[in-house]
Chains A and B, each alone.
Chain A
C-alpha cells in the first residue's frame, strides 16, 4: 500500500529526497532538523557521559585517583553545563519534538521552518563555544556559575557563560515555533482536546522556554559585564550582592527543570496508550497538569536557597508553594497507571523504557519532598542527596523518556526495526546501572557527604565504590542501546506505516514519511487515543463511563 502511494507523488522518502549533504545542511524540513538535533544530542551525551565516567572513577578512592583537584572541578563543571544546556534541555524538544510534533498535528512542517534551521545553527554555535572553553583554560565554576566565585576565578568562564547565553536563543526559537505550530497548523477537525498529549507537553515546555530563558540570558550577560567591565552587580567587593545572582539564576533554572521533565512526560503519554491499546485515562487531567506544572514552576525558584540567608517568611512561602508541584505530578503518574489498567499490554522496548520511567520518576518525585520540606532540606542541601534526586529527575526521567521516544519513533524516522531482544536487554542494564549509580548517593547525602567534593572522608568510600561500579553498568547499557539502534541500518526498510498500532496521525503516513509528510491534507477522523473497533468521529459526544 505505502510503496504504491509513493509512486504517485512527486516526493519520496525525506531521508534521501533531495539527496546530498548540502541539502541536509540547508534543509527546512522539520524531520531532518529533528534528526540532526538528535545526533548532536547523542554526540554531546557521549561527551558529557565520558566526563561523568571520569568523575566517578576519580571518586573511587579519597584524595587523588586519576586527576588533579583543578581538573576534577573543570570536569564536573563541563559535565553539568554540557548535560544541561547541550543535552537535556534540547534533547526531547529539539529531536523528537521537531520530528514528531508536526506529524502528530497532521501538519506539513512547523510554523517557521527557517527559524527552526536557525535554532539548530545557533545550537551548534553555542556548542562550539562551550567546547572551545576547554581549549582556552576551562571553567571551574560548576554549571550554576554562583557569584562571586564565577566573577573572580580565572579560566574561560566568560566564554562558557556566553555559550549558555547563545544556546538560550536556540531554545527560545524552538519554543516560539512549537507554540505557533500548535495554534495554527492543527489538521482540520483537530480541536484543542484532540491534540495529542505529546503536543500539550511540548506546548507547556515552549511556554517556559520563551518566558524564562530571557531571564537567564540577562543574568549571564550581567556576569560577563562584571567579569569583563568590573561592573559591580554580584561581587560585594565591587558593591554587589551575591545572593541576587541566585535569585536571578534560579528564576530561570528552576522552571528549566520543567523544560526537562515536561517533554519526558509528553513522550510517556504517547507510549503508554499505544502499548496498552487503550484510550488514555484522564486526558484533560494530564493536559492541564502539564500547563499547571509550567505555571507553578515559576513560583518556586527560591527553594534552592533555604540556607542562603533568606528570611524565614520567604523560606516558608517557597516551601509551601513547592509542595503544590507534587500534585500535578502525582496526577499524571496515576493516570498513566490507570491507562494500563484493563489494557492489552505489549512489552515492546519503548514500553519497557516507559515503565522504567514510571518507577524512576516515582523515586525522583518523592525524594523531592525531602528537599521541599524546610527542616530536612537544611540538612540535605548541597549534599549527594541532591545529586541523586536531580539525576533521578533529569537523567532517570528525561533520558529514559528520550530513549523511550527514540525507540518509539525509530521505525517512523528510518523505516527500520531495531532488534527487540537487544533493546530490552539494554533497557534492563540501563535501569539496573542507573539505580546502582544513584541509589547509594541518597545514602551518602543523608549521612552528610557534600557534593562537588574531590576529596572525601574514608567512611564514605564503600558507597562511592558502589556508585562508580554502577556507572559502568549504566554506560554499558547506554552503549548497547546505541549500538542496537545503529545496527538497524543494516536491516531492510520494512517497517510498516503503523508498526505499534498507534492511533495518532503520524502512523497514517509511510515509514519513513515523504518530504511533505502526508499525501494531501490529512483530516482527523477520530480522537488521538480512540482504540474502539469503530472509533467515534471527532466532535461526537463521549459516552459516560464509571
Chain B
C-alpha cells in the first residue's frame, strides 16, 4: 500500500502528514469501490434488461422503504467516520505546543519573508531545525496569500490585518517546497519558498553565518541566485522585455532618465541605493512600487547582484 500512497501524495515530511495520508487513502479506496460498484450495477442492468421488444412490460415497483433506509444509513455511517477522522487530524494540527520555535512570516507580492527569534531575516528560504516544533506567525502586507507545504500536508491563509498561525514538526532533514495557494496576481505562481530542514548543528551555523552553500558561492553566481529567489525576476526581465520595473539587459553603465528629469549613471552606488532605498530614484515611465530590501539582504548578496548585473550585456 505504501507505493500507492507515495504515488498519490508524494513523500511525507512530518508525522502529521502520515495521519492525513491514511484518511486520504481510505477515501480514495472508498471512491474507487463505489465507482466500480455503481458502474457494475449499471453495466449489469443494461446487459441483462436490454429492451428486446416493444411489448415488454416492466414490473411496477414504486419504492422500497427498507432499501431506502439501507442506502441512507450506510452512507451516513461512512461519512460520520470520515468526519471524526478528519476532525481529529485537524485538531491535532491546530494548537502548537508551548515550546515551539516561533518564526514570523510576512507575505507580500510576491515574496515570503521570514524573521527568526534572534532577528535574523531571510527571503523565500526558511531554515528550521529537524524534530522540533516550529510555529509560524503569519500576516500579509497587501492581499491574501496562503502558505502551503505539501510535504507537511498543511496550509493556512496569510491575511492582511490579522495574524494566522501554522505549526509543524519536520521529521527528516531535507528541503520542502512552499507554494502560495491564494491567487494574488501576476507573480502568484512564482511566489515560492523552500523550507530547509536542518540538523541542529546546521541550524546553529545558519543562524550565525547564513546559508552554507551561499557563503561559498562566487559573487556573480550568488547575484543570479538572489535575482531568481528573492523576487527580482518578477518585475525585472533579463531579455529586455518591459516588466513592472526596468529590464536588467545591458543595464550596467547605462544612463537612466529619472522621473525628476535628471540623468543617473547605473553604477555600484546606484544599484545599492535602488535596492535599499528604491523610492529615491524612479526611472521615468515606471511606477514607484518596488519594496525596500533594507535588512533583507546581506551585504555580500548586494555585491553579488552588482556583479551579476555587470554580466547582463
Which A positions have Cβ atoms within 8 angstroms of B? 69-70, 73, 140, 142, 146, 148-149, 152-153, 236-237, 241-243, 276-279, 281-285, 306-309, 312, 315-316, 319-320, 323-324, 326-327, 330-331, 333-335, 337-338, 340-347, 355, 358-359, 362-363, 366-367, 369-370, 372-379, 381-383, 443, 446-448, 450-457, 530-533, 542-543, 545-546
Residues of A with C-beta under 8 A to B85: 373, 375
Residues of A with C-beta under 8 A to B146: 307, 382
Interface assignment of B1: CB less than 8 Å from any CB of chain A: no
Quote the shortest CB–CB distance from B59 to chain A (angstroms): 6
Interface assignment of B3: CB less than 8 Å from any CB of chain A: no
What mask results when residues 178 to 219 of chain B are scored 1 for a CB within 8 Å of chain A, else 0? 011111111111100000000000000000000000000000
Residues of A with C-beta under 8 A to B39: 359, 362
Sample of 24 A–B contacts (CB below 8 Å): A73-B183, A146-B143, A148-B160, A152-B143, A243-B162, A279-B60, A309-B156, A309-B164, A312-B94, A326-B75, A327-B72, A333-B38, A358-B38, A370-B27, A373-B23, A375-B85, A376-B23, A376-B86, A378-B93, A447-B8, A448-B10, A448-B177, A452-B183, A532-B60
Interchain CB contact under 8 A, B177 and A457: yes
Residues of B with C-beta under 8 A to A327: 72, 75-76, 79
Quote the shortest CB–CB distance from A276 to chain B (angstroms): 7
Q: Give the docked Cα–Cα distance between A379 and B155 (Å).
A: 6
Binds A, one of B50-58, B272-280, B288-296, B301-309: B50-58
Interchain CB contact under 8 A, B58 and A344: yes
Residues of A with C-beta under 8 A to B181: 381-383, 450-451
Q: Give the docked Cα–Cα distance between A510 and B21 (Å).
A: 58
Interchain CB contact under 8 A, A454 and B51: no
Q: Give the docked Cα–Cα distance between A236 and B64 (Å).
A: 56
Residue of A nearest to B7 (CB): A443
Quote the shortest CB–CB distance from A360 to chain B (angstroms): 10
Residues of B with C-beta under 8 A to A316: 87, 90
Q: Known contacts A340-B42, A359-B42; decide if A307 and B157 are in contact (CB<8 Å).
A: yes
**Chain B contacts with A in 18-39, Cβ cutoff 8 A:** 19-20, 23-24, 27, 30-31, 34-35, 38-39
Q: Give the docked Cα–Cα distance between A69 and B185 (Å).
A: 9
Q: Known contacts A309-B164, A346-B51; decide if A369 and B63 are in contact (CB<8 Å).
A: no
Interchain CB contact under 8 A, A533 and B62: no
Q: Known contacts A358-B42, A376-B20, A545-B64; decide if A454 and B56 are in contact (CB<8 Å).
A: no
Residues of B with C-beta under 8 A to A448: 10, 148, 150-151, 177, 179
Q: Give the docked Cα–Cα distance between A362 and B45 (Å).
A: 17
Instruction: Choose one: B20, B23, B79, B189; the contact of A326 (CB below 8 Å).
Output: B79
Which B positions have Cβ atoms within 8 angstroms of A? 8-10, 19-20, 23-24, 27, 30-31, 34-35, 38-39, 41-42, 45-46, 49-52, 56-64, 66-68, 71-72, 75-76, 79-80, 82-83, 85-91, 93-94, 142-144, 146, 148, 150-151, 153-157, 159-162, 164, 177, 179-190
Residues of A with C-beta under 8 A to B76: 327
Q: Give the docked Cα–Cα distance between A88 and B282 (Å).
A: 47
Q: Give the docked Cα–Cα distance between A70 and B188 (Å).
A: 11
Quote the shortest CB–CB distance from B27 to chain A (angstroms): 5
Interchain CB contact under 8 A, A369 and B27: yes
Residues of B with C-beta under 8 A to A306: 90
Residues of B with C-beta under 8 A to A281: 61-64
Q: Known contacts A146-B144, A369-B79; decide if A344 and B86 are in contact (CB<8 Å).
A: no
Q: Give the docked Cα–Cα distance between A307 and B68 (Å).
A: 36
Interchain CB contact under 8 A, A378 and B183: no
Interchain CB contact under 8 A, B86 and A242: no
Quote the shortest CB–CB distance from A480 to chain B (angstroms): 23
Q: Known contacts A327-B75, A355-B42; decide if A375 and B90 are in contact (CB<8 Å).
A: yes
Interchain CB contact under 8 A, B160 and A323: no
Quote the shortest CB–CB distance from B105 to chain A (angstroms): 14
Interchain CB contact under 8 A, A545 and B45: no
Residues of B with C-beta under 8 A to A315: 90
Interchain CB contact under 8 A, A277 and B58: yes
Interchain CB contact under 8 A, B60 and A363: no
Q: Give the docked Cα–Cα distance between A358 and B190 (Å).
A: 39
Quote the shortest CB–CB distance from A299 to chain B (angstroms): 15
Interchain CB contact under 8 A, A355 and B64: no
Instruction: Choose one: B60, B68, B151, B189; the contact of A455 (CB below 8 Å).
Output: B189
Query: Lowest 7 CB-CB distances: which A-B pairs, in order?
Result: A448-B150, A236-B161, A375-B89, A373-B86, A374-B90, A453-B189, A278-B58
Q: Give the docked Cα–Cα distance between A384 and B10 (Å).
A: 15
Residues of A with C-beta under 8 A to B189: 69, 450, 452-456
Residues of A with C-beta under 8 A to B50: 344-347
Residue of B nearest to A273 (CB): B58
Residues of A with C-beta under 8 A to B30: 366, 369
Residues of B with C-beta under 8 A to A532: 57, 60
Q: Give the docked Cα–Cα distance between A307 and B182 (Å).
A: 10
Quote the shortest CB–CB distance from B130 to chain A (angstroms): 21
Quote the shortest CB–CB distance from A241 to chain B (angstroms): 7
Q: Give the docked Cα–Cα distance between A322 and B255 (Å).
A: 62
Q: Known contacts A337-B42, A375-B20; decide if A533 and B188 are in contact (CB<8 Å).
A: no
Q: Give the docked Cα–Cα distance between A180 and B237 (Å).
A: 60
Instruction: Choose one: B79, B90, B179, B186; the contact of A323 (CB below 8 Å).
Output: B79
Instruction: Choose one: A69, A284, A307, A323; the contact of B155 (CB below 8 Å).
Output: A307
Interchain CB contact under 8 A, B160 and A237: yes
Interchain CB contact under 8 A, A312 and B90: yes
Residues of A with C-beta under 8 A to B42: 337, 340, 355, 358-359
Q: Give the docked Cα–Cα distance between A531 and B313 (Å).
A: 82
Excluding A373-B82, A375-B90, 16 further A-B contacts by CB distance (< 8 Å) are: A146-B144, A236-B162, A278-B61, A309-B157, A319-B87, A330-B75, A337-B41, A355-B46, A375-B23, A375-B153, A376-B24, A376-B86, A378-B155, A448-B179, A452-B183, A542-B62
Quote the shortest CB–CB distance from A381 to chain B (angstroms): 6
Q: Give the docked Cα–Cα distance between A451 and B155 (Å).
A: 14
Q: Give the docked Cα–Cα distance between A243 and B146 (Å).
A: 13
Q: Known contacts A531-B58, A533-B57; decide if A345 and B179 are in contact (CB<8 Å).
A: no
Interchain CB contact under 8 A, A277 and B51: yes
Interchain CB contact under 8 A, B82 and A369: yes
Interchain CB contact under 8 A, A345 and B61: no
Interchain CB contact under 8 A, B160 and A343: no
Interchain CB contact under 8 A, B144 and A149: yes
Interchain CB contact under 8 A, B35 and A359: yes
Residues of B with C-beta under 8 A to A283: 62-63
Q: Which of B23, B71, B86 has the most CB of A within 10 A?
A: B86
Interchain CB contact under 8 A, A363 and B51: no
Q: Known contacts A342-B61, A347-B46, A369-B82; decide if A378 and B72 are in contact (CB<8 Å).
A: no
Q: Give the docked Cα–Cα distance between A451 and B184 (Å).
A: 12
Residues of A with C-beta under 8 A to B155: 307, 378-379, 381-382
